[in-house]
Amino acid sequence: MTKELIFGHQNPDTDAIGTAIAFSYLQNKLGYDTEAVALGNPNDETQCALDKFGFKAPRVVKTVKNEVDSVMLVDHNEPQQSVADIDQVNVSWVVDHHRIMNFNTANPLYYRAEPVGCTSTVVWKMYKENGVEIPANIAGIMLSAIISDTLLLKSPTTTQDDKNAVEFLAKVAGVDYQEYGLSLLKAGTNIASKTEKELINLDAKSFELNGHIVRIAQINTVDLPEAMERKAAFMKEMQNASASDNYEMFMLVITNILDSNSEAIVVGTDECKLLFEKAFDKKLVDSSVALPGVVSRKKQVVPPLTQAFAN
Amino acid sequence: MTKELIFGHQNPDTDAIGTAIAFSYLQNKLGYDTEAVALGNPNDETQCALDKFGFKAPRVVKTVKNEVDSVMLVDHNEPQQSVADIDQVNVSWVVDHHRIMNFNTANPLYYRAEPVGCTSTVVWKMYKENGVEIPANIAGIMLSAIISDTLLLKSPTTTQDDKNAVEFLAKVAGVDYQEYGLSLLKAGTNIASKTEKELINLDAKSFELNGHIVRIAQINTVDLPEAMERKAAFMKEMQNASASDNYEMFMLVITNILDSNSEAIVVGTDECKLLFEKAFDKKLVDSSVALPGVVSRKKQVVPPLTQAFAN
């Protein structure tokens, strides 16, 4: 069996890194030869989860063709969110929980996506379907991924499958998921120690919306007003990034993980800003707007933007 | 639960129709409200399978938005192979065994693809995973689909999963799959009673290859020389279809199901014909060429063409 690499998206989060580790373990048990790698270093929250369950951070790769002919993707499929030379290799497997966009292959492949809160919930099902026992540390890293992606089962992306997975995995990992979950999420909210440039890159993804390249970044916090004090500095860095990487719009979502409310800051072309206002039926005031109850980029931000940009 | 329609590709074959029936039964058992429909009437082979296991042909639909908001696709994903108004509805599920191409969604969905010989093999796994018992007639129609797509397990697309599925389903359906399989395949080879225009539309799919729209049709026979006697008439109809539907190339693959050899007839632009010759490393002589051992459009025709057209 020829070696394949498994990785999540750029600017990896706990799902991207944790699920790569868990899926690689499963695939190796099933006879594949895989290594979990990452397209960047773990963020504070992910590092907390890796430390808790005794994992080293996966090796960071910038390209893959120099190592392998074939790869497996977790937690993403859109090429612009993947490794730089994704078009140079075969994709043999995808496990994901996102929309499918611009993902084209020459050959049939394994593709397993479900509209659940976290990719690890899908991988948990695959362990069950294949009768592979889940070690405690693998259960712990999958549990961490689900807590992260669902904001401890509070995001509207949360499904019954995610809840079942969390109950099951917490038992195998031997942790109280409420207690551990809150400590994990809080580990990701330490924004005071980071520059605005670091923060807008921490959890940022690019989307192609009807031909427009739009960047959407998200930051978690427990103190929204404190974060918004840095608005002018955020906007400056968002404008710099847009100029250098040709984003027509850059949206920063700052989410309070305790009460599930967000504030959005938007820079971009007038056309894009009008489409943003149409998408959310709200006016930007001084380039920002409150988005009460919005916590999910995937379910509450990308779909309305996709619709507004489509028309 | 709002009603959804389930269907396979245009010019439906036994996989498209049989798997839609089997997947609809499974989904309804799991709590969905679905109806299996088809984008065309069954061919002779499919009709033989429907008769054998006591099914009526699914209702034919030309559009779906007039009936439902959401649909489930089996045995295809490429929009140009789907219903005419596929862009007007939500796709909530895909079960497939093809490459992914130009399939874009606004929302996360269930997508289950595996590189196996037939979509029914994937659906068979889903029955097992969900603990749903397979009735004898559903087993029979899934068995028929796998026999059809794998040419009785002889196509190079055949995997161990397909073989396991055939063994299992033949027992449930209560048939000798070798005996039934040969009679089923032979039912699809009665080309003498059909016009050339009918034959080039029987099992035809359009592909976008690096911007070129290419039509690839396939006919099964037990007498290749007899079929090739109609070459000039086939070419005339292929040229007519190309002119009216803007195909840059039309390729007809005529396959002898008994010895697994094919003959290809090709019409199209000089550029496309050169790319065809590059793809197969063979010269067209008088617009046709022998392709020994080639029986699978998906595995032995589309990939080399995709590669030749890409460069």
Interacting residues of B148 by C-beta distance below 8 A, sequence separation 6+: B13, B14, B15, B18, B45, B46, B49, B118, B184, B185, B188
Tell me the pTM: 0.90
The ipTM of this complex is 0.89
* A307, closest residue in chain B (CA to CA): B106
Q: Could you tell me how many helices (H) and strands (E) chain B has, helices first?
A: 11, 10
Residue in chain B lying closest to A303 (CA): B106
What is the spatial distance between Cα B300 and Cα B281, in angstroms, rounded to a whole number?
Answer: 13
Q: Does B70 touch chain A (CB under 8 A)?
A: no
**B106 pLDDT tier (thresholds 50, 70, 90):** confident
Residue A85 among known ligand-binding residues:
no
CA distance A299 to chain B (A): 8
Q: What residue ranges define each of the domains in chain A, with the CATH number in brackets?
A: 4-187 (3.90.1640.10), 196-310 (3.10.310.20)
Nearest to A105 among B100, B110, B112 (CB): B100
Contact A104 B100 (CB under 8 A): yes
Q: Which of A107, A109, A307 sits opposite B106 (nearest CB)?
A: A307
Average pLDDT score over residue span B28-36? 98
Top residue of A30, A88, A107 to mutate, by most chain B CBs within 10 Å, is A107
Cα angle for residues A302, A303, A304 (degrees, 5° grid): 95
For B124-143, the pLDDT digits (tens) are 999 999 999 999 999 999 99
Burial of A59 (0-12, 13-18, 19+ CB in 10 A): exposed
- Which of B102, B106, B113 lies at the smallest CB-CB distance from A99? B106
Residue B304: CB atoms within 10 A of its CB come to 18
| Chain B environment of A112 (Cβ under 8 Å) | 111-113
Spatial CA neighbour of B165 closest among B37, B15, B36: B15
Query: Radius of gyration over alpha carbons of chain B, in Å?
Result: 19
CB contact under 8 Å between A108 and B306, yes or no, is no
Share of residues in chain B with pLDDT > 70 (%): 100
| HSE-up of residue B102 (Cα within 13 Å, Cβ side) | 15
Query: In whole angstroms, what is the distance from residue A298 CA to residue A207 CA?
Result: 11
CB atoms B115 and A109 under 8 Å: yes
Q: How far is CA A103 from the centre of its chain?
A: 17
Closest-CA distance, B93 to chain A, in angstroms, reads: 9
Q: Where are the alpha helices (DSSP H) in chain B?
A: 14-29, 44-52, 119-130, 136-150, 160-173, 177-187, 196-202, 224-228, 231-245, 270-280, 302-310
- Residue of chain B nearest A93, judged by CA positions: B114
Chain B hits for A299, CB-CB cut-off 8 Å, are 108
CB B79 within 8 A of CB B102: yes
Q: Does A108 touch chain B (CB under 8 A)?
A: yes
At B1 the pLDDT is 67
The reply to whether A9 touches chain B by the CB within 8 Å rule is no
Distance from the Cα of A190 to chain B's closest Cα (Å) equals 30
**Mutate which of B111, B126, B208, B296 to test chain A, going by most A C-beta atoms within 10 A?**
B111
Mean pLDDT, residues B227-237 taken together: 97
pLDDT in tens, B272-311: 999 999 999 999 999 999 999 999 998 899 999 999 999 7
pLDDT single digits (tens) B51-100: 999 999 999 999 999 999 999 999 999 999 999 999 999 999 999 999 99
Mean pLDDT by 10 residues, chain A (311 residues): 94 97 98 98 97 98 98 97 96 97 93 98 97 98 97 94 98 98 92 93 92 95 93 97 97 94 97 97 97 93 93 77
DSSP structure class, residue A285: B
